Structure 1
Amino acid sequence: MIYTVTLNPSLDYIVGLEDLELGKVNRSEDTATFPGGKGINVSRVLKRLGQPSCALGFTGGFTGDFIKSALEKEEVHTDFVKVDGDTRINVKIKSGHETEINGPSPEIKAEHLNLLKNKFNAITHDDVVVVAGSLPEKLEPSFYRELIELVPDGTKVIVDTKGVPLNQAILAKPFLIKPNHHELADLFNVEIDNSEDAEKYARKLVGAGAENVLVSMAGDGALLVTASGSYLCNVPKGTVVNSVGAGDSVVAGFVANYLQSSNIIEAFQYGVAAGSASAFSMEFCKKNEVEELFKTIQVREFEKGGE
């Protein structure tokens, strides 16, 4: 089983309008409501790729009920811990510029943390666990690390977060981490604008405990660094119409393929195809789109000075 963990989910309310005028009444042209959160996105894409998963995390109130119901309609299994407050609402305003207003997280009490940890007792070394996204306010930045340390040896854990929670999670020796090049740069307080710098700092994270590091670099492709080598791949040609969820699609594509192939290079290639397919669509990728793009992606060994 694949378990996705979203500790800070959201109800995403998308508002489209021609122009946002501050201080005035604005009439939206269209709206949409979705369950949000990186781990939840991974589960939704996995379903599209033919892989079942179970979404874990914290939800509460009418917004939490919406998330659970929406995922069940998509045939995504859920096993959330119910908290007392309402799951946050994130408003995304799409006009000339995209504006986001993210709501506060509900309070997560010690009893809720323990209930989530208890669910990890069912995880075996044959399972895959994806922990993704931000932590709710007031949670210790080491909480991802604590969760990873609960799973049995041999369990494949993928981490997609940033900052101190990512640094802490690396200490638990996850199978894969997936920062983008900006998040990688922030970890070392440097600027990264080429694949050679990205490889250098990703290699440091392998030395710190991550088994594999996948760095997405937007239009410049992606980089995979393992204990035995480093690899670059191109991004297929296409028009980017929606970057939301592209990184989560990379994770979902990687996991879906790795479970079938056990080949980390092929999984890397498939993950990039899934991320690109989502970026080229107003919605998440479809399996046939991913498989078509997969054929166009070339993976090559990284060579210093030979970008």
Structure 2
Amino acid sequence: MILTVCPNPAIDTFAYLPKIKLGKSNRIVRIQEFPGGKGIHVALAIKELEGEVELVGVWAGSAGEWIKSSCADFGLKVSGLDVKGNSRKCFTFITDEENSDHTEILEPGPKLAQDDFQSFKAHFKRSLAKANIVCISGSWPLGSPKDACQQLVRLANEQHVKVFLDCTGVQLENALKEKVFGLHLNESEYQETIKTLGAEALEDVVCLALTKGKEGLDLRYRQEFISAKLTLDDVISTVGSGDCLTAGLCYAIAKEMKIQDVAKFGVACGAANCLREDLGMLYKSDVGRLLEQVEFKN
């Protein structure tokens, strides 16, 4: 079973409007809402691939209840900690203006009380008993200790559960003090990590996935190296593609696939997310078709 951890879930909100006029009233013409947060995207993708998965998160208020309910509607097993406050909303504003970039406004989410993290950690430890891989993704709520991710990694290592990370900043810096099986970084995150910690900090990571946008995936897995990419003619949205790629990697590793198939699942899952308007989600049928289109580079 793959245990996915989403410390700071969100309601991802796409808001469509003709243009954004600063200092004036702006009328939204259409809204779409999706359960969000990197760990949730990972869990939903693994579930769609028919992998065994459980989602653990920190949930707050009516927004947290909506996110949990939406995930359960997809058939996900959901657990974790309920705290005071309200889970965040992440708004992406989309306009009709030519060459307009998506504009994001992100709420902070709840603040953990002093004992909240210890309760979450205890729940995580109990959930580990059923897992052979744990994937920890995304940011942490306000009030979380700076070594929150590191503490979870240490617990997983004590129970001999492989840990796959997709996080950055101080949480990643501290987590890398422990044994980390897998890590997904984009190119800028990778450069920042080796600038801060040195390349030696990543030497013991068994599965290191470096994504480079249209250039695809560079994967080091058990001392083997491979590069893979997939070119799409039409892209609807890339939001959540990195998370779906992480899901594909974890799914393939859980199935004990060889490096070529691990790379294929990662790239195909990341690409499948781009084909639908559903934010941060993929369809198994798309993945199956795209697997045969993955190209390997020398």
What TM-score comes out, normalization by structure 2 length?
0.90
Match of 2:115, SS?
helix
CA contact (8 A) 1:13 1:31 kept: yes
Bigger strand fraction: 2
Distance 2:138 2:285 in 1: 27
Higher relative contact order (CA 8 A, sep 6+): 2
Q: Which moved more, 1:231-240 or 1:246-255?
A: 231-240
Match of 1:150, SS?
helix
Pick from 143, 149, 154 the counterpart of residue 144 of structure 1: 149
Gaps of 5+ in 1: 191-200, 302-307
Listed as ranges, the matches of 1:173-188 within 5 Å are 173-188=179-194
Is structure 2 residue 37 aligned with structure 1 residue 13? no
Tell me the CA shift for residue 122 of structure 1.
Answer: 3.6
Is structure 2 residue 114 aligned with structure 1 residue 110? yes
Distance 1:150 1:15 in 2: 40
Match of 1:20, SS?
coil
Distance 1:175 1:133 in 2: 17
Distance 1:142 1:259 in 2: 26
CA, structure 1 residues 9+292, in 2 after alignment: closer, same or farther (shift >3 Å)? same
CA RMSD of aligned residues (A): 1.9
Tell me the CA shift for residue 124 of structure 1.
Answer: 3.4
Listed as ranges, the matches of 1:78-93 within 5 Å are 78-93=78-93
Tell me the CA shift for residue 145 of structure 1.
Answer: 0.8
Distance 2:64 2:38 in 1: 15
Match of 2:234, SS?
coil
Is structure 2 residue 263 aligned with structure 1 residue 258? no
Report how many aligned residue pairs link the two structures.
289
Match of 2:35, SS?
strand
CA contact (8 A) 1:206 1:227 kept: no
CA contact (8 A) 1:206 1:212 kept: no
Match of 2:43, SS?
helix
CA contact (8 A) 1:238 1:280 kept: no
What TM-score comes out, normalization by structure 1 length?
0.88
Distance 1:145 1:107 in 2: 19
Q: Which moved more, 1:2-11 or 1:229-238?
A: 229-238
Distance 1:68 1:218 in 2: 31
CA, structure 1 residues 85+257, in 2 after alignment: closer, same or farther (shift >3 Å)? same
Gaps of 5+ in 2: none
Shift >4 Å, 4+ stretches: none
Distance 1:162 1:113 in 2: 19
Distance 1:155 1:300 in 2: 32
Tell me the CA shift for residue 29 of structure 1.
Answer: 2.0
1:94-131 C-alpha deviation (Å, 9 max, x unpaired)? 11331111111211123221121112134138521110
Distance 2:257 2:222 in 1: 16
What residue identity is the alignment partner of 1:269? K
Distance 1:129 1:181 in 2: 23
CA contact (8 A) 2:117 2:144 kept: no
